[in-house]
Amino acid sequence: SAEVVAIVRVVTETKLDAHGAKRPKEDRFRDYLALLSSGTDAARKAALVSFADQLDNARSLVLSEAAGHGLLGRMNTAPDQKLRHLAELRAVLAPALTPAMLAAYDTATADLAATVAAWHLRTGA
């Protein structure tokens, strides 16, 4: 439906610029935050999709590290940058989320922060 297409457009990054070159990650993230903050109906619904995606990603990274898979060192986004993005994204998502959703997001982010801190100690990275 048109509604689903509008939501997908909000959560889909424009990875290439007009010349076909890959856009910097930070530029893509800033655009993503701006789209989620736009106040449109699609943006409000996309915030829920983004919340679910980020919550799952954070939890998966914690579980992956606990299982010894070492994903933190292989991510395209540096672990500390991921934590910063989660913090910035929280402020944008908060108006669309229930208190229970925010608590789950905060717990997952705190668990990931502890995992990243332990990873830094273990790897010296």
Q: What CA–CA distances, in Å, run from 55 to 12, 20, 68, 104?
A: 17, 31, 20, 8
- Mean pLDDT score of the chain: 93
Q: What is the pLDDT of residue 124?
A: 84
Secondary structure of the chain as H, E, C letters: CHHHHHHHHHHCCCCECCCCCECCHHHHHHHHHHHHCCCCHHHHHHHHHHHHHHHHHHHHHHHHHHCCCCCHHHCCCCHHHHHHHHHHHHHHHHHHCCHHHHHHHHHHHHHHHHHHHHHHHHHCC
- In the predicted structure, residue 101 carries a pLDDT above the cut 90: yes
Dump pLDDT digits (tens) for 54-96: 999 999 999 999 999 988 988 888 999 999 999 999 999 999 9
- Whether the CB-CB separation of 54 and 105 falls below 8 Å is answered with yes
State pTM to two decimals. 0.89
Spell out the residues 6+ positions from residue 14 whose beta carbon is closer than 8 angstroms to its own: 23, 28, 31
